[in-house]
Structure 1
């Protein structure tokens, strides 16, 4: 992993266009090819990014080239192009404060809460719980910012990203929103809709999910395990 702290400007072009004016930022280049741009705020969400597969090309200028350029005194330019969509992320570095690389090795992965992990496995095994015609694509569908719990397809064949929590709170909706932003950049999957599933979902999380077009589903742990027959209940 390479970490660069620099005064830079950023332009994203493709299916959307975005511009970040000149300012100090943290740039992260990961071993999987992803590039993320962070500010000193906004928690863990990057200001912009490019997910793999992509190709990075760097251009460094001499002092003479910098002095003769009316567009600005940038010293290095990164062009990151997505191999499938052709979207382009261009980063122009004007001043570099820190530049370091670190070998992190293979990550052991996130160890989830026992009930949460079991819910994920049970729902994957019983995807028909969501309704007739649902099919499982895979569990732990990898993205550049972490795995989506379940990727499935609804009866119409549309991709659905499912995030599973034991307790559904606003943070879980925010996490799923980030996954959806990334997945919908993939032309082979888009459009991808979201589903937030938990044993209990807080009202504030339901409101936020509804505002972002994300469905909410309450999971019955015992019913998924086959212990509780919901159809035979008196109440």
Structure 2
């Protein structure tokens, strides 16, 4: 374990390189900018942030507020580091789909490296979160052409599970239930719709995603023009497992073809 307080960029890069090569966990507090390129693109200006790099190749960047990272990359990334123009650059490259997260730091307040030991078994209690993750990973589970824009989108009554647009540019609002969806799900979705508007000339499509519908709820849904898309927990878990295996296979192939680089 190494702990550095206010290290210089050269010292920080040296310890960072050692830790990444050894697949250790790294935490840093630094003044940085963050940019992402891949399916879309984003940039975040300078600010003091918590950066976490894990041994499995995932990276998270947190602000000093909110529980969700402001940017992140999943496991399987390849890390590259260098000093350029008085800044320490950390680049996390995900080979498939090709995505790059670049963190540029001009001042590091804290850096620590850990070799964490955790052999505990993870017991999954399936929930709506797995269904949500499956939809985020494979939007075609709902319909072809669906593009996810946001999830857990905050609106006055609560949080929209999945928010996106369809192939025609219509706004899609999805409420997920792991059990047969009933009147409560319909009421919840209707409340969300009061605070959401479509693009000009388009419409809002409310959709309930669940294994099935409770008895007697379909007429109400038809009256409110709420669609139903069936999705089971089992199908969601199978989708996530398939996606994980595909990512691992793509990473192995990419590493086999890529020239070796040292941090």
Return the TM-score normalized by structure 2.
0.47
Q: Structure 1 residue 152: deviation in Å?
A: 9.4
Q: Helix, strand or coil: the match of 1:12?
A: strand
Q: Helix, strand or coil: the match of 2:79?
A: strand
Q: Could you report, residue by residue, the CA deviation over 1:138-169 in whole angstroms, capped at 9, with x for unpaired residues?
A: x958xxxx9659979759678999x9xxxxx8
Structure 2 unaligned spans of 5+:
1-24, 152-156, 165-172, 197-203, 217-263
Q: Could you report, residue by residue, the CA deviation over 1:39-90 in whole angstroms, capped at 9, with x for unpaired residues?
A: 011x2211111223321111135xxxxxxx4xxx31x101111111222111
Tell me the distance in 2 between the aligned counterparts of 1:207 and 1:197. Answer: 16
Tell me the distance in 1 between the aligned counterparts of 2:206 and 2:60. Answer: 25
The answer to whether the Cα contact below 8 Å between 2:174 and 2:209 also exists between their aligned partners in 1 is no
* Matched pairs, number: 164
Residue 112 (structure 2) pairs with residue 89 (structure 1): no
Distance 1:159 1:220, change over 3 A: same
Q: Helix, strand or coil: the match of 2:177?
A: strand
Structure 1 unaligned spans of 5+:
62-68, 121-138, 164-168, 181-192, 224-229
Report the RMSD for the aligned CA atoms in angstroms.
4.4
Tell me the distance in 2 between the aligned counterparts of 1:140 and 1:203. Answer: 23
Structure-to-structure mapping, 1:33-182, within 5 angstroms: 33-41=57-65, 43-60=66-83, 69=85, 73-74=86-87, 76-102=88-114, 103-106=116-119, 108-109=121-122, 112=125, 117=126, 140=130, 148=134, 154=141, 170-171=158-159, 173-174=160-161
Tell me the distance in 2 between the aligned counterparts of 1:89 and 1:155. Answer: 28
* Residue in 1 that maps onto 2:49: 25
Tell me the distance in 2 between the aligned counterparts of 1:219 and 1:85. Answer: 30
Distance 1:148 1:156, change over 3 A: closer
Q: Structure 1 residue 15: deviation in Å?
A: 2.5
User: Which has the higher relative contact order, 1 or 2, with Cα contacts under 8 A spaced 6 or more apart?
Assistant: 2
Distance 1:153 1:2, change over 3 A: same
Tell me the distance in 2 between the aligned counterparts of 1:206 and 1:213. Answer: 11
Q: Helix, strand or coil: the match of 1:201?
A: helix
The answer to whether the Cα contact below 8 Å between 1:7 and 1:94 also exists between their aligned partners in 2 is yes
